[in-house]
Structure 1
């Protein structure tokens, strides 16, 4: 239960975050390279269309039976998940909570301190949940990385609650 993070405050829906299930979420990002690359705002529908088109093209070309290369790709993806360092954007969770019109900031409450960010910056936050394939048990359950990557070497750790104020 200590790995559960509550999102409370000036929101319509109280959200419970469980970092243990994010490893299966398609929105996860690889933190080892995320802040090194130019971040592009991508259209989810466009990305989905491209993925479906690629799959359809492969199926037409190679048939419905999965070729050995696809098995290799699955093995590689499994290894990447088992050994990777991952985070997930906080934006979808904050949007699903439906913040009040008068909300001005987001507080990231940890064991030792409180870090407050304006909503515009909090929407760009990446929440780290995995380091080298392991959950963040010692200094987690999540780490907070600013959207611009300025604290990539020193993220906010030991987060116990997120409060919209």
Structure 2
């Protein structure tokens, strides 16, 4: 149970976070580039349409049999997942927990003590869960990165639970 983190406190629903399954989540972000790239708002429908169009065009040009380049791309993506450094935004989890209106802060409970952020700051937090393809077992299960990346080289570690106050 050490790899489980709870979101609790001044919320309608307590949420159990299991960082071990986030590697399969489409919301994961590559932490090596996340804070250095310009933040671009992504229109999911537009992205889906582009991906579908690209796939359809490829099928028309090359047929339904996948060429060696597609196999190579799949191998590359698999290697990227196995060796990558990833995080996931906290915002969707806080939204699913339904924070009560009178809540003002989010406390990240660590072995060393509590770190408090305002609700607005916490909504921009990224939860790191993997470094070089390995889960954060020794100082995890998650690391806290501020939304602006200002603590990228020194994230908040040993987070045991998230309490909305």
Render the CA deviation track for 1:22-54: whole Å, top value 9, x for unaligned.
111111111111111111122222222222222
Q: How does 1:11-160 map to 2 (within 5 A)?
A: 11-160=11-160
1:163 CA drift (Å) = 0.8
Aligned length: 165
Gaps of 5+ in 2: none
| Partner Cα separation in structure 2 for residue 159 and residue 76 of structure 1 | 32
Distance in 2, matches of 1:118 and 1:82, equals 34
**Separation of aligned partners in 2, 1:46 and 1:121:** 28
1:130 alignment partner, SS class: strand
**Aligned-partner SS, 1:56:** helix
Please give the alpha-carbon distance, in whole angstroms, between the structure 2 residues aligned to 1:52 and 1:99: 36
| Aligned Cα root-mean-square deviation (Å) | 1.1
Query: Structure 2 length as normaliser, TM-score?
Result: 0.95
Mapped partners of 2:61, 2:86: distance in 1: 33
Instruction: Report the CA distance between 1:102 and its aligned residue.
Output: 1.3
In structure 1, runs of 5+ residues without a counterpart are: none
Q: How far apart in 1 are the matches of 2:10 and 2:44?
A: 28
Q: Point out 4+ residue stretches in structure 1 off by more than 4 angstroms.
A: none
Give TM-score, length-normalised by structure 1: 0.95
